Each structure stands twice: as structure tokens, then as C-alpha cells.
């Protein structure tokens, strides 16, 4: 086996084993312990984070931040991965903000010059725009890690009306929508799942002490089904809205589609229908008012009344 191939296989082996001795590797690769020591030194210089321990039970182990083995990409794959990460620059806050920037820098640096030139030409010709928000989301990484590790966090949360409360929550995950980050989580104070806006979380830390609740087993609860696990189902209202082709375009991809189904006709017009929580009446009224003549709300009457009431308040404000 050539040295380069042995180093490649050795890198994959130490990533897989995490803990090993020189003697074990020497036997596995059929070389002397001295050769393995030289190879491990080269891997360390290449960036593989190895840690050695002395003593009768000593050996080597790979630290948590392992280095993945080299992966071969085609030029098109490399460009697509670069721009997938490059698009995230519009988000001022990410759960892995520093790592994304570092990975993008490495990816670009080790590309061939002709691929870098191609990327440079494309940077100002393709983009994925996300709404710019003034809100800060400093705890995304902590929330995501707690969701993965099934941990309970103690947070201070500020409501829409500016009331701050202390909560103990177990996050399900995080997601971005319309430039904002959200975190569905089990709230131990409410004894049910709740949706938290991450910019309203003013502090967050691991829950500790005698009053810290035991984590729940939420391994089967994820972003796609957490609402199905609500103990108290929200009151639902059936919605029906007729849309012009422009109205259909305005509704596609919007946050309201989380509850309502959009049926599009051959002529481009459509109908938005389905049940939605009564708590979102005010939000939907404002949304459909913004569509003007492109949307006609047929039901529920509560939504029609909310639209009329909001319009009356606007007329009074500007009269």
C-alpha cells in the first residue's frame, strides 16, 4: 500500500475508532509501530486533532472536533455547495455562524484557480435574498444543541406585549421563516409545547439546581410533527379565501401556509382553505388586508369581522 493511500485510510480509521493504540494500528495496517507514529504525526500536522495519553492504559484519542477525510467533488458540486453556504451570509445570526464562515473560506482557498475564477464571476450574478431584520438571535447554537442533546434550558422570554417571564423549556429544534428564527419547545411551566420567537429570548442557560426538571424523551418529536403533540389543541376556525393569480403569488411560501392549503387553478387563480388557530385571527386579518383586491375572504365570519374592524380603525386613524 502506498503511503498516500495508507494516510487516507488511517485518517478514516482514527475518525471511526476515536480511541486506539499505536500497536493496534500497526497490526491493522501491517507496518511497524515507528511507521504508524510517523503517520500519526503527519495527520496531526494536517489538522487531525489527536490527543495522546501516557501510562499502562494510554494511547491516542481523537478530540471532539474531528476532521473529516477528504471528499472528492466535481466542479459543479463544489460550486453548488459554495453558493448554498454563501447564501447564508444574509442571516446575521446562525446557530453555526463562525463555522460556516471558516468552512466557506477553506472551501474557496483549496479550489483550483479556474474554479475560484468561475465563482468570482458568479458572485454578483446569483443570490438568495432573505429579509433583513434588526432583531438579534444570540442563543441559536445553544437552542439547537439542547434540542439535539435532549437538554432543559432556563430562559427569560419577553412576550409581544413586553412582559418578561422565566421559563424552563426543552427545545425541539429551530427554524427560520421570513428572516426570523423560531423555536418549538416543551414548556415545563405551561406543561405543553409552545412556539418561541428566538429574538424574544433575552437570556438562556442550561437548567440546573433542585428545581430543574428531568428532560423528557422527545426523540420522536421534531419540527415536522411537534404540533401533533400539543396536549391542549388550539381552537380552530375553517378558512376559505379566493385568490387572483397575483394573490396566489403573494401567498406561496408565506408563513400562513403552515396551516392552510393552497389550491391553484389552471388560470393561475386559487383558493386558500383549511383550519387555522383562532389565536391567529389578527395576524391573518392584517395579512389579507395587505393583499387588497387580490384576496376575498369568504369565511370564517370571525375573520371577516376582524378585517372590517381593522379597516375601521385604520380609517379612523387617517381620517
Domain regions of the chain by residue span: 3-62, 75-124, 139-229, 236-318
Report the distance separating Cα 194 and Cα 207, nearest Å: 18
Q: Which of 58-72, 170-184, 217-231 has the lowest mean pLDDT?
A: 58-72
Fold type of domain 236-318: Alpha-Beta Plaits (3.30.70)
CATH class belonging to 139-229 = mainly beta
User: In this predicted structure, what is the pLDDT of residue 147?
Assistant: 96
- Answer yes or no: are the C-beta atoms of 241 and 296 closer than 8 Å: yes
Q: What is the mean pLDDT of the chain?
A: 86
**Per-residue confidence band for 61, with pLDDT thresholds at 50, 70 and 90:** confident
Helix, strand, coil percent values for the chain (each to nearest 5): 45, 25, 35
CA 257-263-269 angle, 5° bins: 110
Task: Name the pairing type of β-strands 192-197 and 180-187.
Answer: antiparallel
Instruction: Specify whether the CB–CB gap between 137 and 111 falls below 8 A.
Output: no
* pLDDT more than 70, % of the chain: 91
At residue 18, the pLDDT reads 67
The predicted pLDDT at position 255 comes to 58
pLDDT digit string (tens) for 114-164? 888 888 888 878 887 777 788 889 999 999 999 999 999 999 999 888 899
How many angstroms separate the CA atoms of 124 and 260, rounded? 36
Phi, psi of 56 (to 5 degrees): -60, -30
Of residues 25, 112, 105, 13, the one with CA closest to residue 67: 13
Strand partners, 171: 185
The string of pLDDT tens digits covering residues 87-111 is: 777 777 888 766 777 777 777 777 7
Is a pLDDT exceeding 60 seen at residue 62? Answer: yes
Fold of the domain built from segment(s) 3-62: Arc Repressor Mutant, subunit A (1.10.10)
Burial (CB < 10 A; 0-12, 13-18, 19+), residue 164, is exposed
| Residues contacting 306, CB < 8 A, separation 6+ | 281, 282, 284, 285
- pTM, to two decimals: 0.67
pLDDT of residue 69: 58
**Run of H or E including 4:** helix 3-17
Query: What CA–CA distances, in Å, run from 170 to 145, 182, 227, 263?
Result: 11, 14, 15, 36
User: Which among 161, 301, 307 has a CA at the least distance from the CA of 315?
Assistant: 307
Is the predicted pLDDT of residue 285 greater than 90, yes or no? yes
Please write the tens of the pLDDT for every residue from 224-262: 899 889 888 878 899 999 999 999 998 886 655 567 899
pLDDT tens, residue by residue, 3-54: 777 887 887 787 777 678 888 888 988 899 899 888 888 887 777 777 777 6
Amino acid at each position: 500500500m502506498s503511503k498516500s493511500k495508507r494516510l487516507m485510510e488511517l485518517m478514516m480509521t482514527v475518525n471511526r475508532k476515536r480511541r486506539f493504540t499505536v500497536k493496534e494500528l500497526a497490526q491493522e495496517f501491517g507496518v511497524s509501530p515507528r511507521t504508524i507514529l510517523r503517520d500519526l504525526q503527519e495527520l496531526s500536522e494536517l489538522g487531525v486533532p489527536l490527543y495522546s495519553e501516557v501510562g499502562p492504559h494510554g494511547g491516542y484519542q481523537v478530540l471532539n472536533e474531528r476532521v473529516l477525510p477528504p471528499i472528492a467533488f466535481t466542479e459543479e458540486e463544489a460550486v453548488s455547495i459554495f453558493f448554498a453556504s454563501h447564501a447564508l451570509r444574509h442571516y446575521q445570526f446562525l446557530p453555526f455562524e463562525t463555522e460556516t464562515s471558516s468552512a466557506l473560506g477553506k472551501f474557496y482557498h483549496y479550489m483550483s484557480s479556474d474554479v475560484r475564477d468561475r465563482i468570482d464571476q458568479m458572485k454578483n450574478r446569483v443570490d438568495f435574498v432573505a429579509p433583513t431584520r434588526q432583531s438579534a438571535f444570540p442563543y441559536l447554537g445553544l437552542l439547537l444543541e439542547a434540542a439535539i442533546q435532549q437538554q432543559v434550558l432556563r430562559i427569560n422570554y419577553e412576550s409581544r406585549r413586553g412582559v418578561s417571564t422565566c421559563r424552563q423549556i426543552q427545545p425541539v429544534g429551530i427554524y427560520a421563516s421570513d428572516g426570523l428564527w423560531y423555536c418549538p419547545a416543551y414548556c415545563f411551566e405551561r406543561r405543553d409545547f409552545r412556539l418561541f420567537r428566538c429574538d424574544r429570548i433575552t437570556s438562556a442557560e442550561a437548567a440546573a439546581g433542585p428545581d430543574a426538571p428531568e428532560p423528557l424523551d422527545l426523540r420522536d418529536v421534531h419540527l415536522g410533527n411537534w404540533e401533533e403533540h400539543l396536549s391542549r389543541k388550539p381552537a380552530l376556525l375553517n378558512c376559505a379565501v379566493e385568490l387572483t393569480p397575483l394573490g396566489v403569488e403573494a401567498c406561496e411560501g408565506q408563513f400562513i401556509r403552515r396551516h392552510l392549503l393552497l389550491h391553484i387553478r389552471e388560470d393561475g387563480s386559487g383558493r386558500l382553505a383549511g383550519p387555522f388557530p383562532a389565536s391567529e385571527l389578527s395576524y391573518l386579518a392584517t395579512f389579507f388586508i395587505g393583499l387588497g383586491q387580490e384576496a376575498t375572504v369568504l369565511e370564517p365570519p370571525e375573520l371577516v369581522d376582524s378585517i372590517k374592524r381593522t379597516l375601521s380603525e385604520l380609517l379612523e386613524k387617517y381620517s
